[in-house]
Amino acid sequence: MDLFATALPALADAWALILQPLVLGYLVLGVVMGLAVGVFPGLGGIAGLSLLLPFMFGMEPVLGLALMIGMVAVVPTSDTFSSVLMGIPGSSASQATVLDGFPLARKGQAARALSAAFTASLFGGLVGACFLTLFIVVARPLVLAFGLPEMLMISVLGLSMVAVLAGRVALKGLAAAGLGMLIGTIGVADAGGSLRMASYDFPYLTDGLQLVIVGLGIFAVPEIVSLLRQDQSISKNASLGAGWMDGVRDWFANKWLSVRCSLIGVLVGVIPGLGGSVVDWIAYGHAVQTTKDKSNFGKGEIRGVIGPESSNNAKEGGGLVPTLLFGIPGSGSMAIFIGAIALLGSGDIEVGPAMLRDNLDITYSIVWLLALANVVGTLLCIGVSGGIAKLTTIRFTYLAPFLFMLIAFAAFQSGQNFEDILALFAIGLIGIFLRRFDWSRPAFLIGFVLSNPVEKFSNQAFQIASFRFRRSFEEGMDYIFSPIVIVLLIITVVSVVLGLRQAKTIMAEGDVQSGSKRAPIVFLLVIMAYVVTALLNANAIPDYNMTDKIVPLVIGGITLVALLILLVQMILRPEGNTIFADKEASGEDADAPYGLWGTLAWFASLIAATYFVGFILALAGFLVVFLRVRAQAPWPKTLILTACGLALMCVMAGALNRDFPPGLLQDAVDLPWPLH
Amino acid sequence: MTIKTLAASAATLALLSAPALAEVDFSGKTIEWVIPFSETGGSAKWANFFAPLLAQELPGEPTVVVKFMPGAGSTKGANWFQEQEYEDGTMLFGSSGSTQFPYLLDDPRVRYEYGDWIPVMATGTGGVAYLNPEDGAKFDGSANGLQDVNLIFGSQGATGLDLVPLLAWKLLGMNVEPVFGIKGRGDGRLMFERGEATIDYQTSSGYLSGGAELVEAGTAVPMMSWGALDEDGAIVRDPTFPDMPSFKEVCAATEGCETEGVAWDAWKAFFIAGYPSQKIAFLPQGTPQEVIDTYVAAFEAVRARPDFAEISSNEVGQYPMFVGEGAVKATKEATTVSPEAKAYVIDWLKDSYGVTIK
């Protein structure tokens, strides 16, 4: 009980620190700034926090913490806007939300989906804070119990969610996940430094592809293109049916799901090294498996929104444990947070093992500032959600150019290379075809996200296990089959078995009609060609760098086998079988008034023009031409909208101190910002 | 004080300060400090610490912002900086050991030349190695008792800063097996705390905030510091850890470890590039002397702040902050290595870890 003797006074001190008008004022300021940054996809907390850094120097610690936490806390809340309304995953925390949130928006229930998501976020954040208050003082041994084999098993558990999301043809889901993993291995290998599907002559790929780009390419580009072709509003009949109170009621009806997913969020968040990338998928899988009637998932099931949203804010709280107790950041924004804490006050708060002993009151302040920021952020978000949801009733042709603008800018921010935008386009093409032929895009993304953890943890765990085995057999077995590993193994097996049984009813792409044989087979052969190339490329790595080649070889091999079986099935089965699913055969894509390539050419033209004259000039031309020609807008409207778009970009980039992609023109002539 | 005397004293003040500041004035300007790493790394922390201090000391009190240009292990940003020429003195670049090592090892991605850049400030750090208690008991100031022990070490990669400890342990005749692919020394310490790794090292600030705690709790035994450079360029005990032997002392006490010769020189060269002159601030080529002087004066003023020792304890610790001539000398030491030493390291990397730099 010694623990409580120190913890309770510290908790009281923390509340005394927090509950000052000035502190709360800074918190609200941080929340508002975080919302402003967070509603734009792909920027997230890192951009916002680095903006705050210069002001942290010497600032009163609790004020600085309030400002920073206010900003970090609302990003997983505010990114829900773009996930639900536009089908654009705002950050890695809200990828799973897209699956059911966006279909709800298309049904005209955006406000309902948003308020359910926000309520779930709020609740998740509070559950996380309560749990952490008790847990943080005893968390250290548990965190240390998670060694490499345990982390590998958590990653595998995340991968097993592919089974749930594989779609109607399980092999296609498996192959999509394998392809995602292979694409995730592109670049310099972590372990031995070998190059995979990359070359120093083309340095861009040596760093691998960024998650922001893959997330936007796989989810956002296909949806934007498809909606633009149909030339209507996001909400199919341009109306907003359910209001925001319905969402709150939905959440209340599913409160236990929300509790469970919040706990999943905290616990997975606590484990260092995994970050938040798997949490929302595990929560989504859990939501699917605990729902009796699974037929609505992927088509607008509210539980598919509540599950991941409950977990992603709770995860932020969990992520504080490795950050504060071990000084190991769970995410990019946490890394900046650690750096900023060292700048605060006289610089004597140092995160790490001493944090609990010397600064327990500060630790508790951080936990509860996070919870408070969640409350403030959620209330603000719910307040504006009704208004923002109206975006879904606007004719999409007026939204699309601005979305192209935003995703191109977001992609460029991830690495500040022109190639970032090209990569977005290329991944977008893959996304378009995965969607068209009903290959599970979530499976692809899960594969991509988990590619690096699986490879890293399996290599490292293997090396340490063989080191232990050399000492004694028992020691090795104890290491690999710890109780935690065995429990995780059982959960994984159960989830795969259940998942495969259920997958057929969960159609992430809706009920896709089947078409002729030719197009699906051509797509399959293209994927196969890539997989074979990647296999040959990995095989060419010398054997002494086995750690760099083994994972691509195994994953590529499994994917190739899956593709070969699919090929045989395609040859044998008659036309009209579900295996030949093709959105262009019938349905809204096939009936759309505009073609795929013509629509995609608009986006391509923006990229091409950027290459020549730089982003801002290209954007000005693009917006004018698009609005005049495609949207047939009158001149005054065209000019006003163009000016608004340009102003938005400049204000955002100016405030965040970001550059725009330069073109050939900028190489030749010196131009003033924002043109340079 | 009348208005007249106020005006007079203002005029005198302006006259007095005029000669120094006449040419260079950054009023209303924004200075970009480009860091070739992401927002989350140690260099970001370093630049963010110095940026506001520098802004206060530069004439005209400009805004100093830190910009990030990560990619290709910092060679992308360094290659970009190589292309820059002096314009108006509003650009600064920060390099680190991870930028210096590829340069020393002739990495094919390197298209930059340190000789072209103008160093204005450099800071360094030290490092401490520690063992688990079981193997630590066999350490007696020499590594003689550790010759037949197999150790495991969580490493970020053999061609980065971990090159220095790996080579040190090799010179001591120890069998240390690196597990590659971790991100950051914090992950390495965690691996050590979980008992998966049995040997580890931290830079000085990392050791003080994390490793020392383990030593106090009895779960780690300190082995040695890398040491520090004295005025004459010799390796002495690290002033931050005066009670801990330096690697040089341990090497001298260990059979088969020589503190001279090609292997030792190679270690020392990479140690200097990675630790005592780890982070350096540069102006681009073609910068005129008065702009250089302005920056040097500003960094000197930062160093001379009465509270500098206190506020900088996390960033520079007990280590000297080099400014002006000192920074030039430090940069030269950090970016020069004899061909023999270079060949030795390249061979060793290839033989031990299969790393080829081509």
CA gap A170, A225 in Å, rounded:
27
Closest approach of chain B CAs to the CA of A304, in angstroms?
33
CA gap A409, A491 in Å, rounded:
41
Over range A658-663, report the average pLDDT.
Answer: 83
The residue of A49, A148, A338, A460 whose CB has the most chain B CBs within 10 angstroms, and thus the best one to mutate to test that interface, is A460
Residue A623: CA atoms inside 13 Å, Cβ hemisphere, count? 26
Give how far Cα B276 sits from Cα of B268, B271, B279, Å: 11, 8, 9
Q: Is the peptide bond before A401 cis (omega within 30 degrees of 0)?
A: no
Q: For residue B19, what pLDDT is reported?
A: 42
Phi, psi of B97 (to 5 degrees): -50, -35
Q: Name the domain count of chain A.
A: 1
Give how far Cα A584 sits from Cα of A107, A432, A458, B121, Å: 21, 11, 41, 62
Name which of A114-118, A266-270, A450-454 the model is least confident about.
Answer: A266-270
Chain A (524-563) residues lying within 8 Å, Cβ to Cβ, of chain B? 542, 544-545, 547
In a domain, A8, yes or no: yes
Over range B151-172, report the average pLDDT.
Answer: 92
Cβ atoms < 10 Å from Cβ of B286: 11
Q: For residue A168, what pLDDT is reported?
A: 81
Chain B (70-89) residues lying within 8 Å, Cβ to Cβ, of chain A? 70-72, 76
- Residue B212 sits at the chain A interface (C-beta within 8 Å): no
Residue A286 contacts residue A261 (beta carbons within 8 Å): yes
Name which of A635-644, B138-147, B346-355 the model is least confident about.
Answer: B346-355
β-pair partners for B308: none
Say if the Cβ atoms of B51 and A54 lie within 8 Å. Answer: yes
The residue of B54, B194, B357 whose CB has the most chain A CBs within 10 angstroms, and thus the best one to mutate to test that interface, is B194
Read off the pLDDT of residues B237-278 as tens digits, 9 standing for 90 and up.
Answer: 998 899 999 999 999 999 999 999 999 999 998 999 889 888
Q: For residue A83, what pLDDT is reported?
A: 87
Minimum-distance CB partner of A343 among B48, B152, B180:
B48
For chain B, what is the HEC assignment?
CCHHHHHHHHHHHHHHHHHHHCCCCCCCCEEEEEECCCCCCHHHHHHHHHHHHHHHHCCCCCEEEEEECCCHHHHHHHHHHHHCECCCCCEEEEECHHHHHHHHCCCCCCCCCHHHCEEEEEECCCEEEEECHHHHCCCCCCCHHHCCCEEEEEECCCCCCCHHHHHHHHHCCCEEEEEECCCCHHHHHHHHHCCCCCEEEEEHHHHHHHHHHHHHHCCCEEEEECCEECCCCCEECCCCCCCCCEHHHHHHHCCCCCCCCHHHHHHHHHHHHHCCCCEEEEECECCCHHHHHHHHHHHHHHHHCCCHHHHCCCCCCCCCCEECHHHHHHHHHHCCCCHHHHHHHHHHHHHHHCCCCC
In a domain, A317, yes or no: yes
Over range A239-247, report the average pLDDT.
Answer: 74
pLDDT at B14 over 80: no
Name which of A153-157, A282-286, A350-354, B175-179 the model is least confident about.
Answer: A350-354
- Residue A470 sits at the chain B interface (C-beta within 8 Å): yes
Q: B160 to chain A: nearest residue by CA? A: A193
Name which of A22-26, A248-252, A511-515, A637-641 the model is least confident about.
Answer: A511-515
Q: For residue A247, what pLDDT is reported?
A: 86
Q: For residue B17, what pLDDT is reported?
A: 44
Q: Identify the band that residue A562 occupies on the pLDDT scale cut at 50, 70 and 90.
A: very high
Residue B179 contacts residue B154 (beta carbons within 8 Å): yes
pLDDT at A560 over 60: yes
By the 10 Å C-beta count (0-12 exposed, 13-18 middle, 19+ buried), B215 is classed as middle
A187 membership: H or E segment, kind and range = strand A187-188
CA gap B270, B273 in Å, rounded:
5
Whether pTM exceeds 0.90: no
Cβ atoms < 10 Å from Cβ of A354: 18
What are A540's two structure tokens? Answer: 């060419």
In terms of residue numbers, what domain contains A123? 2-543
Q: Identify the band that residue A601 occupies on the pLDDT scale cut at 50, 70 and 90.
A: very high
In a domain, A467, yes or no: yes
Percentage, residues of chain A above pLDDT 90: 33
Give how far Cα A521 sits from Cα of A298, A440, A527, A580, Å: 25, 16, 10, 8
Average pLDDT along chain A = 86
What are A63's two structure tokens? Answer: 């004020």
In a domain, A532, yes or no: yes
Over range A374-401, report the average pLDDT.
Answer: 86
Say if the Cβ atoms of B49 and A57 lie within 8 Å. Answer: yes
| Terminal C-alpha separation, chain B | 72
Closest approach of chain A CAs to the CA of B87, in angstroms?
12
* Chain A neighbors of B157, CB-CB under 8 A: 190, 193
Q: Identify the band that residue B30 occupies on the pLDDT scale cut at 50, 70 and 90.
A: confident
Q: Which residue has the higher pLDDT, A154 or A609?
A: A609
Q: For residue A29, what pLDDT is reported?
A: 92
In a domain, A659, yes or no: no
Q: Which amino acid is at B329?
A: K
Percentage, residues of chain B above pLDDT 70: 92
What are A8's two structure tokens? Answer: 């309770």
pLDDT at A352 over 80: no
Say if the Cβ atoms of B40 and A547 lie within 8 Å. Answer: no
β-pair partners for A581: A514
Helices (H) and strands (E) in chain A, counts: 31, 2
Q: For residue A242, what pLDDT is reported?
A: 63
Residue A421: CA atoms inside 13 Å, Cβ hemisphere, count? 25
Q: For residue A415, what pLDDT is reported?
A: 77
Q: Identify the band that residue B358 occupies on the pLDDT scale cut at 50, 70 and 90.
A: low
CA gap A669, A657 in Å, rounded:
22
Q: Which amino acid is at B195?
A: G
CA gap B336, B85 in Å, rounded:
24
What are A631's two structure tokens? Answer: 């949207």
Over range A651-666, report the average pLDDT.
Answer: 82
Q: For residue A53, what pLDDT is reported?
A: 75
Give how far Cα A86 sits from Cα of A580, A648, B199, Å: 28, 18, 50
What are A99's two structure tokens? Answer: 């699956």
Say if the Cβ atoms of A657 and B179 lie within 8 Å. Answer: no
pLDDT at A47 over 70: yes
β-pair partners for B30: B63
Size of the A and B interface in Cβ pairs below 8 Å: 130
CA gap A673, A670 in Å, rounded:
10
- Residue A593 sits at the chain B interface (C-beta within 8 Å): no
For chain B, list the domains and their CATH numbers: 31-124+277-334 (3.40.190.150), 127-274 (3.40.190.10)
- Residue A354 sits at the chain B interface (C-beta within 8 Å): yes
Residue A160 contacts residue B69 (beta carbons within 8 Å): no
Name which of A89-93, A120-124, A179-183, A208-212 the model is least confident about.
Answer: A89-93
- Residue A674 sits at the chain B interface (C-beta within 8 Å): no
Q: For residue A338, what pLDDT is reported?
A: 81
In a domain, A550, yes or no: no
* Chain A neighbors of B88, CB-CB under 8 A: none
Contacts of A448 (CB under 8 A, 6+ apart): A180, A181, A183, A184, A209, A211, A214
Average pLDDT along chain B = 87
Over range A494-499, report the average pLDDT.
Answer: 84
Q: For residue A507, what pLDDT is reported?
A: 64
What are A35's two structure tokens? Answer: 């919302």
Q: By C-alpha distance, which of A264, A238, A309 is closest to A95?
A: A309
Contacts of B289 (CB under 8 A, 6+ apart): none
Minimum-distance CB partner of A207 among B72, B154, B191:
B72
Q: By C-alpha distance, which of A613, A222, A241 is closest to A425?
A: A222
Closest approach of chain B CAs to the CA of A470, in angstroms?
10
In a domain, A34, yes or no: yes
pLDDT at A232 over 90: no
In a domain, A298, yes or no: yes
Residue A298 contacts residue A507 (beta carbons within 8 Å): yes
Minimum-distance CB partner of A347 among B72, B184, B313:
B313
Q: Which residue has the higher pLDDT, B291 or A499?
A: B291
For tokens 């290998």, the residue is A189
Q: By C-alpha distance, which of B325, B196, B228 is closest to A464?
A: B196
pLDDT at B28 over 90: no
What are A488's two structure tokens? Answer: 């995780």
pLDDT at A240 over 80: no
Chain A (54-113) residues lying within 8 Å, Cβ to Cβ, of chain B? 54, 57-58
Q: Which residue has the higher pLDDT, A461 or B24?
A: A461
- Residue B242 sits at the chain A interface (C-beta within 8 Å): no
- Residue A210 sits at the chain B interface (C-beta within 8 Å): no
Q: For residue A199, what pLDDT is reported?
A: 81
Q: For residue A141, what pLDDT is reported?
A: 83
DSSP character string of A453-470 = HHHHHHHHHHHHHHHHHH
The residue of A190, A413, A462 whose CB has the most chain B CBs within 10 angstroms, and thus the best one to mutate to test that interface, is A190
A195 membership: H or E segment, kind and range = strand A195-196
Q: For residue A347, what pLDDT is reported?
A: 65
The answer to whether the Cα torsion of A605, A607, A613, A618 is positive or negative is positive
Q: B110 to chain A: nearest residue by CA? A: A200
Residue A347, SS3? coil
The residue of A72, A143, A204, A416 whose CB has the most chain B CBs within 10 angstroms, and thus the best one to mutate to test that interface, is A416
Read off the pLDDT of residues B202-229 as tens digits, 9 standing for 90 and up.
Answer: 988 888 877 888 899 899 999 999 999 8
- Residue B353 sits at the chain A interface (C-beta within 8 Å): yes
For tokens 């859990």, the residue is A286
Read off the pLDDT of residues A63-111 as tens digits, 9 standing for 90 and up.
Answer: 999 999 988 888 778 888 888 888 888 776 778 888 899 988 888 888 8
Say if the Cβ atoms of A327 and B193 lie within 8 Å. Answer: no
**Measured CA angle at B153 (ends B148, B158), to 5 deg:** 110
Read off the pLDDT of residues A33-46 as tens digits, 9 standing for 90 and up.
Answer: 888 877 777 666 77
Give how far Cα B111 sits from Cα of B75, B108, B114, B120, Å: 8, 8, 10, 21
* Chain B neighbors of A206, CB-CB under 8 A: 72
Q: For residue B12, what pLDDT is reported?
A: 47
Over range A544-564, report the average pLDDT.
Answer: 92
Over range A485-496, report the average pLDDT.
Answer: 90
Chain A (630-669) residues lying within 8 Å, Cβ to Cβ, of chain B? 657
Q: Identify the band that residue A133 occupies on the pLDDT scale cut at 50, 70 and 90.
A: confident
CA gap A626, B306 in Å, rounded:
60
Closest approach of chain B CAs to the CA of A494, in angstroms?
29
Which of the given ranges, A49-53, A191-195, B239-243, has the highest pLDDT on average?
A: B239-243
Chain B (109-128) residues lying within 8 Å, Cβ to Cβ, of chain A? 109
Residue A18 contacts residue A59 (beta carbons within 8 Å): no
CA gap A173, A578 in Å, rounded:
13
Residue A524 contacts residue A562 (beta carbons within 8 Å): no
